[in-house]
Chain A
């Protein structure tokens, strides 16, 4: 051993000793050492509300600072996956059904059940069923933060001119055979270039000026923005059990019937054909007066009733199908990264996010409906104070048996593309809905083998 390496070895042992000392220092429990938690979300409309929550939280826990980062939906999941792969993920992030199973099965999300038990978090304070969405067996991967439901949105002035007021839209019915009063309303709302509506025998379906109904065909495997709600009200269920089912049922004739009904709307000229449809969002078409009615989620409230809307819009309940009125309900949660260095602090933050204190702040800003029922009431009150009638979303969420959860399983994104392609090919007339969905269902179920 020459002199240089000996000196190096001495230095190295010194460094190791120093490092050990540093370690033992930070392992002391409850030192109140300053900690910064990284928290990620994607909705820029909600960033301000959560910043308020973070400020409140830091007031109560002066040693913990929350650093909020926001990025748009698509980048959000790519960034998150990359950061997790690199072993440098945010301590806490906002989670959603379609990506989260992947993270659970690869062990990236901390099981918070022990914390929930220890701190006695009241799970019954949340809107029915939301807390169970983020469990697997007896593990729990998040506390619910908010929810959304679906309703019909319509161009109020246009429908009024066609003799349809709010009362006539409050109790629409639907069935896949003749479309019920929902189809009647759509027909009335469709107007050709000579001003004749869809019920007029002289109606010219080749020269439609305003389409009665605008469908959404880029709607994945869930159809949350359209076919899913009607299919559910026709008795369709997506899979054997939710969450974490392994056997999908897209070959159910009740779904094919629903898709066929949508196709009939196109054939009658009440909806734009898919190959002549717009790639722009439905709210831009509604704002341009090209369509009269479509489905809207409660997250769109501010787009339709806010200052940006060019026309007067209003919401109506979804039509009731053979099995009653069914709306998709979806919830978000906050997840803790399994690899975080500050598990206890992250739990404190997640617990605060799931508490009435934070959710009341979020609800008071009237952007989304928080998961805690009393905070939801606050959000409703905030909307009402601004003169916005959005009660329908809350009523639908509260109706017994009136909601269904969109599926949460593995392979979410792949299933989404497969089913969406099948439904598009049926709407384009390349295959019958029954055949296309049967084939897609076989492909989907093969993923679980």
Chain B
């Protein structure tokens, strides 16, 4: 009873996929569809939504506050991703080439384990202009107080710095895992040939790390665009609107002003931007896949 026809596994596969598909449909598909629908209505949470066409979208592109929110978010992403990636790369290299202590690795993850609201409160006190530890330090060396959260120039770099502090450990660990995949003999060979650490980093570590680096970038970039909790705790979008990022803008519109339809339109817009950015990054990721082959 030999049969040349291979057994069809597709039926079984669908059964196994079913729980995930149902979960996806209920928790992602349906809310996303509802969100799309709300974005073309005048929904306020308390009324029956009625269709208003593209009105929310046309109002959105004319809203200075919305463009300001995008701009401010962009500035945050540049500051946060830039500092976080550089710092994480440095730390990962040190862990890889200098010490592989498990205790150190665990310590690095500590800030990442603290809830964001706690982190926000902690730094709000540390950096406070009048009562904060940092301004006391500045004062003892003769520098005037810096309004880390209340000065327009400093507010965003401060928020970005706090989140860099919180997430660098996690990114560093991702990169470190990537470095472990690089064969040891490459380093041995290079050091026999007389290459220094810096040269090895530039010629071996960095090029071979590219796929992992790209992945870490995709993950942290999307996360970075979603900055909300630190701002909600510390600056509340201020001073004036210097830290009113896109998520805070959506929050205000939806839950403070009850413009649910308008907020949904802004959220759809954000999803589009993130989609495009991710697509670009995925291309970069694929292009670098064959480096270690």
Known contacts A84-B46, A288-B130: A413-B240 contact under CB 8 Å = no
Bound Cα distance A84, B44 (Å): 12
Partner of A102, one of B46, B125, B130: B46
Give A193 Cβ to nearest chain B Cβ, in Å. Answer: 10
Bound Cα distance A275, B150 (Å): 5
Instruction: Check A428–B124 contact: CB distance below 8 A.
Output: no
Bound Cα distance A175, B235 (Å): 32
Contacts of A413 in B (CB 8 A): 256-257
Bound Cα distance A430, B257 (Å): 26
Give A6 Cβ to nearest chain B Cβ, in Å. Answer: 33
Partner of B131, one of A106, A284, A430: A284
A63 at the interface (CB under 8 A from B): no
Cβ proximity bits A72-112 to B, threshold 8 Å, 1 near / 0 not: 00000010011011000000000000000011001010000
Bound Cα distance A288, B130 (Å): 9
Nearest residue, chain A, Cβ from B46: A106
Known contacts A108-B46, A276-B151, A285-B131: A428-B239 contact under CB 8 Å = yes
Nearest residue, chain B, Cβ from A421: B240
Cβ proximity bits B41-52 to A, threshold 8 Å, 1 near / 0 not: 000111100000
A280 at the interface (CB under 8 A from B): yes
Partner of A272, one of B124, B125, B129, B258: B129
Partner of B239, one of A108, A206, A278, A424: A424
Instruction: Check A428–B240 contact: CB distance below 8 A.
Output: yes
Q: Could you say which of B106-114, B141-149, B189-197 contacts chain A?
A: B141-149
Cβ proximity bits B236-267 to A, threshold 8 Å, 1 near / 0 not: 10111100000000001001111000000000
A290 at the interface (CB under 8 A from B): yes
Contacts of A414 in B (CB 8 A): 256-257
Give A330 Cβ to nearest chain B Cβ, in Å. Answer: 19
Nearest residue, chain A, Cβ from B125: A280
Instruction: Check B46–A278 contact: CB distance below 8 A.
Output: no
Nearest residue, chain A, Cβ from B235: A279
B80 at the interface (CB under 8 A from A): no
Contacts of A166 in B (CB 8 A): none
Known contacts A81-B258, A106-B47, A413-B257: A276-B131 contact under CB 8 Å = no
Give B238 Cβ to nearest chain A Cβ, in Å. Answer: 7
Nearest residue, chain B, Cβ from A418: B65
Contacts of A71 in B (CB 8 A): none
Contacts of B257 in A (CB 8 A): 411, 413-414
B55 at the interface (CB under 8 A from A): no
Bound Cα distance A218, B236 (Å): 10
Give B139 Cβ to nearest chain A Cβ, in Å. Answer: 10
Bound Cα distance A202, B262 (Å): 56
Give B122 Cβ to nearest chain A Cβ, in Å. Answer: 13
Please tell me the size bucket of the interface on B. 20 to 34
B128 at the interface (CB under 8 A from A): yes
Bound Cα distance A108, B150 (Å): 39
Instruction: Check A81–B255 contact: CB distance below 8 A.
Output: yes
Contacts of B149 in A (CB 8 A): 279
A242 at the interface (CB under 8 A from B): no
Instruction: Check B252–A417 contact: CB distance below 8 A.
Output: yes
Contacts of B145 in A (CB 8 A): 276
Nearest residue, chain B, Cβ from A81: B45
Bound Cα distance A277, B127 (Å): 11
Contacts of B146 in A (CB 8 A): 276
Contacts of A108 in B (CB 8 A): 46
A135 at the interface (CB under 8 A from B): no
B234 at the interface (CB under 8 A from A): yes
Instruction: Check B44–A106 contact: CB distance below 8 A.
Output: yes
Cβ proximity bits B34-66 to A, threshold 8 Å, 1 near / 0 not: 000000000011110000000000000000000
Instruction: Check B151–A275 contact: CB distance below 8 A.
Output: yes
Known contacts A275-B152, A276-B129, A417-B252: A424-B238 contact under CB 8 Å = yes
Nearest residue, chain B, Cβ from A107: B46
Instruction: Check B128–A278 contact: CB distance below 8 A.
Output: yes
Instruction: Check A276–B238 contact: CB distance below 8 A.
Output: no
Give B18 Cβ to nearest chain A Cβ, in Å. Answer: 27
Known contacts A288-B131, A413-B256, A428-B152: A276-B239 contact under CB 8 Å = no
Bound Cα distance A272, B129 (Å): 10
Partner of B129, one of A81, A84, A277: A277
A374 at the interface (CB under 8 A from B): no
Instruction: Check A272–B130 contact: CB distance below 8 A.
Output: yes
Q: Which of A108, A273, A417 has the most CB of B within 10 A?
A: A417
Known contacts A424-B240, A430-B240: A279-B255 contact under CB 8 Å = no
Nearest residue, chain A, Cβ from B148: A279
Nearest residue, chain B, Cβ from A413: B256
A300 at the interface (CB under 8 A from B): no
Give B283 Cβ to nearest chain A Cβ, in Å. Answer: 40
Q: Which residues of chain A have a CB within 8 Å of any CB of chain B?
A: 78, 81-82, 84-85, 102-103, 106, 108, 206, 218, 272-280, 284-285, 288, 290, 411, 413-414, 417, 421, 424-425, 428, 430
Q: Which residues of chain B have a CB within 8 Å of any CB of chain A?
A: 44-47, 124-125, 128-131, 144-147, 149-152, 234-236, 238-241, 252, 255-258
Q: Which 5 A-B pairs have the closest CB atoms?
A: A106-B46, A275-B151, A278-B130, A276-B147, A85-B45
Other A-B pairs, 15, CB within 8 Å; known A275-B239, A276-B146, A428-B239: A81-B255, A84-B46, A103-B46, A218-B236, A276-B145, A278-B130, A279-B129, A280-B130, A285-B130, A290-B131, A411-B257, A417-B252, A421-B240, A428-B152, A428-B240
30 A-B residue pairs with CB within 8 Å: A78-B255, A81-B46, A81-B258, A84-B45, A102-B44, A272-B129, A272-B130, A274-B150, A275-B150, A275-B151, A275-B152, A277-B129, A277-B147, A277-B150, A278-B150, A279-B149, A279-B150, A279-B234, A279-B235, A280-B125, A280-B131, A284-B131, A285-B131, A288-B130, A411-B257, A414-B256, A421-B240, A424-B240, A425-B240, A428-B240
